[in-house]
Amino acid sequence: MKLSLSELQKEYRHEPLKFDEVLDLKADLMERYPDEVLDVTPVHINGMVSVEDGGDALFYAHVKTTMTVPSTRSLAPVELPMAFDVTEFYVASQAAVDRYEKTDVVLVVADDEIDVDKAIADNLLLQIPMQVLTKAEQSADQLPEGHGWQVTVEGDKEADESDSQTVDPRLAKLKNFFDESSKGDEK
């Protein structure tokens, strides 16, 4: 879905353009981000584009889809249902960006074209959480471990204490380094 900023400014100055569309972004997302996106169901968007007093376009959409991404622990596929809102401002020049707050998403339109598909795809990627786990990984009491390694949770006091007591054999001689050097200072 593509929109023309100049057409929006002419035709929708007094009344917003409303839309209710289904976008097929699977091929684009899987081509651009093959390691992060394993599958995407058709993306349903509904919302509107209104033209502000300065000629800037306010784009608002509610987005709903399901993405399949790899688990951050085992790389097993995990389905993530997504439903979120997107609000972006589209302006004709870089100078217009200064009219907005730093927290607003403001994009300068190139060649008079707003690429809605790309905007929605980029926002889908931003919605992927930092940690994605399968249901089995979420409910597991034990974290994975192997020979000489184990996964720990940051801030887990028990794991932190066991890590601080374990000394790498290559550094074992340095364990008491400060104790011996402080004895030499006492003489």
For the chain, the structural domain boundaries read 2-137, 142-186
Q: Kindly report the pTM of this predicted structure.
A: 0.72
Model confidence pLDDT, tens digit, residues 105-141:
888 888 888 889 999 999 999 999 998 888 888 887 7
Question: What pLDDT, on the 0 to 100 scale, is given for residue 85?
Answer: 95
Model confidence pLDDT, tens digit, residues 57-104:
889 999 999 999 999 888 899 999 999 999 998 888 887 788 888 888
- Three-state secondary-structure class, residue 41: coil
pLDDT band at 186 (very low <50, low <70, confident <90, very high): low
Q: Is 103:73 a contact under the CB 8 Å cutoff?
A: no
